[in-house]
Structure 1
Amino acid sequence: MDKLHSLYNFLDLAGTFVFAISGAVAAKQQRLDLFGICAIAFTVACGGGIIRDICIGAIPPAGLTNWHYLVTAIIASGMTIGLYAFVQRLNHPVQFFDALGLSLFAVTGAQKSLAYGHNAEVAVLLGITTAVGGGVLRDILLNRVPLILEKEIYASAALLGALIVVLGYYTKILSSDWISLIALITCFGLRLLALHYRWNLPNYSK
């Protein structure tokens, strides 16, 4: 495998950090103890990446072997607990950090799949899996309906981000760093706009 560029490593750890914050906030809102908060934060931060690594053959998964991920999740948990009053000032903090983590992991998930020699379809699907996997595990553990099973624009935003990465990889119209930033901004922007304007996918429950 070619060495992943430096921006990938930054985005991956940044995604770990913000997803850990979203997990820690959700866990604290459920009144879990310190271990529970750290456990949920790590699960959210690394769950999707672990699933991706297993699927692409990156064994053992980086989330379990690279200490940076565990330390990042613990630091994010500690900061969330210590600065919870500040975090609460954000409008819907779990949704904000979840949207940022979703965008970061949609990009890095697709990038790592491509770096391991997999095709476009695998890269897009595992980009989505990386982005939504941790959030799904969080919601299941906290006894909530996962967002991807509701009508919100969530996984579809990750799909768009992963698609941009894959298209940029094959067309090479821009450098990988620029493509990553465009994909990140597009996914994050779409998710925030969907939350603000309450854009939803069609609901066929009736």
Structure 2
Amino acid sequence: MSWEILNILAVSAFAFSGAIVALNERYDIFGTFILGIATPFAGGIIRNIALDVPVVHVWEQGYLLYVAFGTIAVVYFFPKTWVLSWDRWNIYPDAIGLSAFALQGASFATAHNFPLGGVIFAAILTGVGGGVTRDVLAQRRPMVLHQEIYAVWALMAGLLIGVGIIDVQSASQTYFLFFLVITCRVLSYHLGWHLRFRDLYRL
């Protein structure tokens, strides 16, 4: 049940984020739905291809596909003045999607008995793949390449799960890590944390 809830949160959050970006870039309804669908599902597809395991295609996602469609429809048909003002808050659904998908990717890798490196790799690809796809399709600079910390939090989730500190079979531990990654991502954004070591060297 905990993973079903996390999957719904992740898909709706990333679908919302993709639709918001599409509307800000003045995409039509077709483009909005394409970008909104690509954002939550591209990361898992990229992960499966990279790990050489069977790919679960978008049309095989079951009820999650309908969750994404419903979220995108709500965003698209809301008054545009309201929706476009939400772009400033897009960091929050993006953080939710990053966290949930990073955990899902790490859990997927452990279930397939991948070593620690594979678990971390799966967490990063699943967590950031959708956001990168969204930004590339919208012709934006991918957030993962910005100065602010982004992919590191997916790496942290994969590491904690891969070494066994967090047991994904425990709902309480899973949700703890879920909220921890969200908190770290939001704090890193608002406090301006970054990985520019050259600036530290100058100090």
Query: TM range, normalised to the smaller chain?
Result: 0.7 to 0.9
Deviates more, 1:67-76 or 1:43-52: 67-76
Displacement of 1:161 after TM fit?
2.0
Contact 1:164/1:179 (8 A) holds in 2 = no
1:71 counterpart residue number: 66
1:13 counterpart residue number: 8
2:188 counterpart residue number: 194
TM-aligned CA distance change 1:179 to 1:142, over 3 Å: same
Number of residues of Structure 1 aligned to a counterpart in Structure 2:
199
Q: Under a length normalisation based on structure 2, what TM-score does the superposition of the two structures give?
A: 0.87
1:101 counterpart residue number: 97
Deviates more, 1:134-143 or 1:80-89: 80-89
Please point out which of 109, 112, 118 is paired with 2:114.
118
Quote the RMSD (CA, aligned, Å). 2.3
Q: Distance in 2 between matches of 1:195 and 1:154?
A: 9
Contact 1:110/1:123 (8 A) holds in 2 = yes
Percent identity, please: 28
Equivalent runs, 1:78-157 vs 2, <5 Å: 78-83=73-78, 86-87=82-83, 90=86, 92-157=88-153
Q: Distance in 2 between matches of 1:174 and 1:55?
A: 22
Q: Which residue type is aligned with residue 160 of structure 1?
A: M
Q: Under a length normalisation based on structure 1, what TM-score does the superposition of the two structures give?
A: 0.86
Displacement of 1:58 after TM fit?
4.2
Contact 1:162/1:183 (8 A) holds in 2 = no
1:3 counterpart residue number: none
Q: Which residue type is aligned with residue 9 of structure 2?
A: A
Q: Distance in 2 between matches of 1:87 and 1:113?
A: 36
1:40 aligns with 2:67: no
Displacement of 1:175 after TM fit?
5.1
Contact 2:23/2:84 (8 A) holds in 1 = no
- Structure 1 gap ranges (5+): 1-5
